[in-house]
Amino acid sequence: MPELPDVTVYCEALRPRVVEGGRRLQRLRIISPFILRSTDPSPETLESRRVVAVSRIGKRIVLEFENDLFLVLHLMIAGRLRWFDAPARASKPPRIVLATLDFDSGILWITEAGTTKRASLHIVQGRDALASFARGGLDVLTCSPAAFASALRSENRTLKRALSDPRLFDGIGNAYSDEILHAARLSPLALTSRLTDEESSRLHAAARDTLSHWIDRLRRDFGLDHPPGRFPGSGEITAFRPGFAVHGRFGLPCPVCNAPVQRIVYSENETNYCARCQTGGKVLADRSLSRLLKDDWPRTIEEWE
């Protein structure tokens, strides 16, 4: 799922293409009815209107139009955006395209891989309606260490669950929570109620520094530090980046200590961590594999190696 750094670069890549120069939406075509989650105002209401801003609410992308009209897009896990400059218009959209937005400057495709359609598009009028999409999470890039600690300890949960809860923190999901916890040298299963003040401060700094690092790195990768830059292409917004320390790197060496990266698999997600850097050498029980292996499950990183 695109998270705060990914959504930020999508917004920054869109602004010079759909806002600057007074661009107007010529046509909004809903190809898959599953993506449209609102009926009033209708999609046709946006046509011929000028886009005045592009912003982010959590993991959602917001296109603001004239007369307080807003298109709110949540890409969920497999949703992505593709841009085609005019006059080099896109060919016939493939099956993964859920909707298209035609501008005089180009065409924006909203795509989603797979058969489970989860991406959502809402069209709303008024800032009160727009505010309903905010989940209340803190912006870790701007909040104080004290505010961060207060939110973290508001519920007794694991650090992994707390960091990725949009009611607590804004825009952090499965991938970047792994990276933040590795940078902070903290276990994903540590409980928020048992965190010391020093550990909370360390986690806050790691969250701020990790997200800032990846925003800056992606800006450079796509040339967005010199607008308009390059719009992210197919496969370039991903949860599995070569520069990550642990996320998506099960079995590969930790870049800090060279121990093999471990994982906990649950439902459709997995948590990746370094046992040596984060859990004092203890290999955390995997819900599926550890139950299968029982006594043969390695308890320490030394046994694993």
Token pair for 119: 């991406």
- Superfamily name with CATH number, domain 4-131: MutM-like, N-terminal (3.20.190.10)
pLDDT in tens, 38-67: 999 999 999 999 999 999 999 999 999 999
Give pLDDT, residue 287: 56
Token pair for 127: 């800032």
What stretches in the chain show pLDDT beneath 70?
Answer: 88, 287-305
Query: Which of the listed CATH numbers 2.30.29.30, 1.10.8.50, 3.40.50.360, 3.90.550.10 matches domain 145-304?
Result: 1.10.8.50
**73 with 28: CB under 8 angstroms?**
no
Distances (CA, A) of 300 to 279, 281, 296, 297: 10, 5, 12, 9
pLDDT in tens, 221-238: 999 999 999 999 989 999
Which residues face 64 on adjacent strands?
Answer: 53, 70
Check if 4-131 and 145-304 are the same fold.
Answer: no
**273 with 284: CB under 8 angstroms?**
yes
Q: Domain-by-domain residue ranges, the chain?
A: 4-131, 145-304
